[in-house]
Structure 1
């Protein structure tokens, strides 16, 4: 079975570590020189990797890294016990809220962007969480 690692490129790894630790309660694990830190506390480790603005993502990339708000189909969902306090902490630490809290049969969700433009959703499950979407057999 494969392992999954989550990597997030940021222009300032120290600032990103402070954000993710204070906003979402991750804890620092291993450090990789001054250019990376492992954050623990989720189902998989989260790696913050320092990459300068405009640096290429691969050799000869047509554009460099851009940390303004951007859309990507891959984002983090942070599951919490209580949505409002988690949302308030994230805002205090620099997250941008991108709409009202949404209610669904499985729970509640707030859409955010971290200070480097990455999408983050805060989820509060209710009942059976996503299993509420499964029809009974």
Structure 2
């Protein structure tokens, strides 16, 4: 079993620029004119061009809206340097929503991409999440 990450956007060229600049990803393939594959993480990301106002499935009551929104599923990008990654992401167009905070396991910051999708940037320090395991 494999994991693929799909992110709906209404401006494919702008989304490609953002994710390449923010996270140093590279374009793998273009699948027609509405899909770009990005590589460089543990799973490929597919940017899918979907117009604002379109429905995600037949009979949906809600349409796609690229304003900031909350979803219980989001990306956590594990990096070597939270501060450098946050700076690069913000310079590329991300919104910093929660500056980096330190935890027992490392550091984390919360951001949103220009299409309203939230994500976190994590840096594991010391034992990482193992610091949370009761011995």
How would you bin the TM-score normalised by the shorter chain? over 0.9
Point out where structure 1 has 5 or more consecutive residues left out of the alignment.
Answer: none
Counterpart of 2:60 in structure 1 is 61
CA distance in 2, matches of 1:66, 1:3: 28
CA distance in 2, matches of 1:73, 1:129: 23
CA distance in 1, matches of 2:40, 2:130: 23
Counterpart of 2:6 in structure 1 is 7
CA shift at 1:60, angstroms? Answer: 2.0
Alignment of 1:1-137 (within 5 A): 2-136=1-135
CA shift at 1:80, angstroms? Answer: 1.1
The count of aligned residue pairs is 135
CA shift at 1:117, angstroms? Answer: 0.3
CA shift at 1:103, angstroms? Answer: 1.1
CA shift at 1:100, angstroms? Answer: 2.5
Could you list the structure 1 runs, at least 4 aligned residues long, displaced by more than 3 angstroms after superposition: none
TM-score by length of 2: 0.96
CA distance in 2, matches of 1:131, 1:21: 31
